[in-house]
């Protein structure tokens, strides 16, 4: 069965190569931009792919929202199954695309969009059919994990580890989506949609790692703590909670064993208990392996069920103690149970604060021109 590939970049080349050895499948036409059709299998017309009766399924690995959305819609409307690695596309239009797939009797699967090679959504989709998922999330961004691990183990500053991550190909030239937490946020949106039939589209709290310094790391290291960027999701009444923030863990926590650019996806089932999946969350072949794995699930269980709807996230019930570093002038905004003075800075551990309250306080301090780093304390 021929699989057309949309996009011939990092993941696209991997998918094409894997299709050459995937029993039951073979690579079909590859969509490239006009003028880049330098091999017979490369085409620049999506209509040609949608109208090709030999194309059984389409792997969308070009990224972005448009024209990916139009092309995927075109493929589904033509009765082709679609698998994609594009989290931005699924976060923006997944519900509509899943509805079109149902109408046409084909599959729309997107395992590779969350966790790269880690079979997180695949397992979550199956588990949520038979068990109540009490919580989900974990370390879903390898770039920031690499950076935090390097800061922690090598004592380097943020700028140095970012440059190192870029040189190794772990961070893009514009790293904003990773370091701001947006990439992780999109992944938790998809996981909530798969597990709870609720795609949170607003009401998020998202804090990345842009404000962490070598001084912060040295201080919480002295307290025996390590930082990881954690995504958290779970049921919240009629809605879901969904947020991203740095979290400090004691050295014995499993999260601290996640080194370099690895991911650790977790969910907790009411009956299954805690399930942890670790592996490569990005990269050509890990991501391509998830795309190809989805091809073997075509015609089976959907990832987005008909009941899936858009909701506003509700994080008000999520409460943590926080580690905060801010200017002395801003410290009065917090109720610290322990604090350390460091020149003009105050570092402290707060009393319990709700996630929205902590994120709002940090937002206010930054709006007024101040600086702050915060992390929940596990
Ligand atoms: N890389 C990873 O490790 C990873 C992991 C998980 C998920 N993903 C997701 O997988 C998708 C692809 O990522 P990637 O890293 O493979 O990106 P990439 O290396 O930039 O490749 C994207 C390819 O798609 C092509 N493309 C873009 N728009 C096109 C259009 N309108 N028509 C034809 N071709 C077009 C690009 O061509 P040009 O070069 O001509 O622009 C490029 O060859 C993204 O959604 C990403 O989020 C990637």
Where do the CATH 3.30.360.10 domains begin and end in the chain?
120-312
Is residue 7 lining ligand 1, measured as CB closer than 6 Å? yes
Q: How far is the CA of 161 from the centre of ligand 1 (A)?
A: 25
For a substitution probing ligand 1, which of 5, 29, 62 has the most ligand atoms within 8 Å of its CB?
Answer: 62
- Alpha-carbon span 275 to 269, nearest angstrom: 8
Does the Cβ of 116 fall within 6 Å of ligand 1? yes
Q: Does this model's pTM top 0.75?
A: yes
> Which of 5, 6, 8, 10, when mutated, tests ligand 1's pocket best, judged by the most ligand atoms within 8 Å of its CB?
10
Name the band, by pLDDT with cuts 50, 70 and 90, for residue 169.
Answer: confident
Could you confirm whether domain 120-312 is CATH 3.40.50.2030? no
Is 290 near ligand 1, meaning CB less than 6 Å away?
no
CA of 300 to the centre of ligand 1 (A): 27
110 alpha carbon – ligand 1 mean position (Å): 15
Ligand 1 neighbourhood includes 30 CB (under 6 angstroms): no
The whole-number pLDDT of residue 278 equals: 96
Residue whose Cα lies nearest atom 41 of ligand 1: it is 33
Question: pLDDT by residue (tens digit) across 83-114?
Answer: 999 999 999 999 999 999 999 999 999 999 99
| CB distance 12 to ligand 1 below 6 Å | yes
Q: Confirm or reject: Cβ of 32 under 6 Å from ligand 1.
A: yes
Q: Measured in angstroms, how far is the CA atom of residue 52 from the centroid of ligand 1?
A: 23
**Which residue has its alpha carbon closest to ligand 1 atom 35?**
7
Cα 13 to averaged position of ligand 1 atoms, centre (Å): 10
What is the 3-class SS of the chain, one letter each residue? CEEEEECCCHHHHHHHHHHCCCCCCEEEEEECCCCCCCCCCEECCHHHHHCCCCEEEEEECCCCCCCHHHHHHHHHHCCCEEEECCHHHHHHHHHHHHHHHHHHCCCEECHHHCCCCCCHHHHHHHHHHHCCEEEEEEECCHHHHHHHHHHHHHCCCHHHHHHHHHHCCCCCCCCHHHHCCHHHHHHHHHHHHHHHCEEEEECCEECCCCCCCHHHHHHHHHCCEEEEEEEEEEEECCEEEEEEEEEEEECCCHHHHCCCCEEEEEEEECCCEEEEEEEECCCHHHHHHHHHHHHCCCCCCCCCCCCCEEEECCCCCCEEEEEEEEEHHHHCCCCEEEEEEECCEEEEEECCEEHHHHHHHHHHHHHCCCCEEEEEEC
pLDDT surpasses 90 at 127: yes
Top mutation candidate among 30, 35, 63, 291 for ligand 1, by most atoms within 8 Å of CB: 63
- pLDDT of residue 133 exceeding 90, the answer is yes
Nearest CA owner, ligand 1 atom 43: 9
- Of the chain, the percentage scoring pLDDT greater than 90 comes to 97
Output the pLDDT for position 304.
98
159-174 mean pLDDT: 92
With a 6 Å cutoff on the Cβ, whether 282 touches ligand 1 is: yes
State the average pLDDT for the chain: 96
> Residue 170: its pLDDT value, please?
86
Cα angle 55, 61, 63 (rounded to 5 degrees) comes to 135
Between the CA of residue 243 and those of 179, 187, 232, 253, 255, what are the distances in Å? 14, 10, 5, 20, 17
Binned at pLDDT 50, 70 and 90, residue 171 comes out as confident
Which atom number of ligand 1 is nearest to the Cα of residue 282? 3
Tell me which residues are annotated as active site. 187
Q: What is the pLDDT of residues 364-377, one digit of tens each?
A: 999 999 999 999 99
Question: What integer is the mean pLDDT of 270-287?
Answer: 95
CATH superfamily, region 2-109: NAD(P)-binding Rossmann-like Domain (3.40.50.720)
In this structure, which residue's CA is closest to atom 42 in ligand 1? 9
Pocket test for ligand 1, best of 85, 94, 186, 284 (most atoms within 8 A of CB): 85
Contacts of 297 (CB under 8 A, 6+ apart): 107, 109, 122
Question: Could you give the CA distance from residue 277 to residue 191 in angstroms, rounded to a whole number?
Answer: 14
**pLDDT greater than 90 at residue 302:** yes
Alpha-carbon gap, residue 39 to 143, rounded angstroms: 33
For the segment 55-70, the average pLDDT, to the nearest whole number, is: 98
CATH 3.40.50.720: which residues of the chain? 2-109
Residue 5 C-alpha to ligand 1 middle, in angstroms? 11
Confidence (pLDDT) at 69: 98
Q: For a pLDDT cut of 70, what percent of the chain falls above it?
A: 100
Q: What is the mean pLDDT of the segment spanning 216-229?
A: 96
Instruction: Taking residues 64-76, report their average pLDDT.
Output: 98
- Residue 97 CA to ligand 1 centre (angstroms): 19
Q: In this structure, what are the phi and psi dihedrals at residue 207, rounded to the nearest 5 degrees?
A: -125, 130
Ligand 1: nearest atom to the Cα of 33 = 33
Whether residue 172 is predicted with pLDDT greater than 90 in this model: the reply is no
């Amino acid at each position: 069965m021929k699989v057309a590939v949309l996009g011939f970049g990092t993941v696209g080349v991997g998918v094409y190569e894997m299709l050459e050895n995937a029993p039951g499948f073979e690579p079909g036409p590859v969509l490239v931009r006009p003028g880049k059709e330098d091999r017979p299998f490369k085409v620049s017309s999506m209509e040609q792919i949608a109208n090709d009766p030999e194309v059984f399924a389409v792997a969308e690995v070009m990224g972005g929202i448009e024209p990916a959305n139009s092309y995927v819609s075109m493929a589904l409307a033509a009765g082709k199954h679609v698998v994609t690695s594009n989290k931005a596309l699924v976060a923006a239009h997944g519900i509509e695309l899943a509805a079109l797939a149902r109408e046409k009797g084909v599959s729309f699967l997107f395992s590779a969009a969350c966790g790269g090679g880690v079979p997180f959504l695949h397992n979550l989709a199956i588990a949520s059919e038979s068990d109540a998922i009490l919580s989900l999330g974990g370390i879903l961004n390898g770039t920031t994990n690499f950076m935090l691990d390097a800061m922690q183990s090598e004592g380097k500053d943020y700028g140095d580890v970012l440059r190192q991550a870029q040189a190794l190909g772990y961070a893009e030239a514009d790293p904003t989506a990773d370091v701001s937490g947006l990439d992780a946020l999109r992944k938790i949106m998809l996981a909530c949609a798969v597990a709870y039939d609720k795609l949170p589209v607003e009401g998020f709290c998202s804090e990345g790692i842009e404000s962490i310094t070598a001084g912060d790391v040295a201080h919480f290291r002295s307290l025996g703590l390590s930082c990881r960027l954690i995504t958290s999701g779970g049921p919240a009444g009629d809605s879901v909670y969904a947020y991203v923030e740095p979290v400090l863990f004691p050295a014995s926590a499993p999260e601290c064993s996640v080194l370099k650019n690895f991911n650790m996806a977790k969910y907790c089932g009411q009956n299954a208990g805690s399930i942890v999946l670790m592996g490569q969350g990005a990269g050509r072949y890990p991501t391509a392996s998830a795309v190809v794995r989805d091809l073997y699930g075509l015609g089976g269980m959907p990832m987005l069920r008909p009941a899936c709807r858009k909701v506003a996230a509700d994080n008000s019930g999520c409460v943590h103690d926080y580690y905060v570093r801010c200017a002395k002038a801003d410290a009065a905004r917090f109720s610290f149970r322990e604090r350390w003075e460091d020149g003009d800075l105050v570092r402290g551990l707060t009393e319990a604060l709700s996630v929205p309250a902590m994120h709002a306080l940090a937002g206010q301090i930054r709006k007024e021109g101040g600086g702050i780093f915060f992390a929940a304390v596990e």
